[in-house]
Amino acid sequence: MRLTIFTPDGEYYTQKIESIMVNEKTFGAFGILKGHLPLISAIEDGTISIKEAKGTMKYFSLLDGMLREVDNEIEIICAIIEEGDSPSSSKENLLKLIERRKEENKERNVELTLAENELRKQIKKAKPGHL
């Protein structure tokens, strides 16, 4: 089987795998092995455990995703994803990433507000409409 994970930034992960276990907060848990019937599932808030073809285990937590499996090809698209050494550490890493992004957004909003205020001052100073 082959698993490919996509985020808004592009392809995040692609690898041959033996199995995948999905633990989804809302819809429950399920696993996929070679030869599984075609499947589509939402993953709103979940963790996935992957056994790669070489035997290595990988753990990811993700938000706002969809999984599709057809002919041993699994694709996951998601808004945000983070890896960890275990399901719980991947979740912790995801929560840290979300907090970092919130802080970055706050900083951008402050910068935008300052720029808007400066623009208003410049417009008043130029006295638009008075030629």
Span 11-66, pLDDT tens digits? 999 999 999 999 998 889 999 999 999 999 999 999 999 999 999 999 999 999 99
Q: What angle do CA 31, 35, 36 make, to 5 degrees?
A: 40
Cα separation values, 14 from 4, 11, 49, 79, 91, Å: 4, 8, 14, 17, 20
Alpha helices in 2-129 (DSSP H): 87-126
Give the pLDDT band of residue 131 (cuts 50, 70, 90): low
Domains and CATH numbers, the chain: 2-97 (2.60.15.10)
pLDDT for 125 beyond 80 = yes
On whether the pTM is more than 0.85, the answer is: no
pLDDT for 129 beyond 80 = no
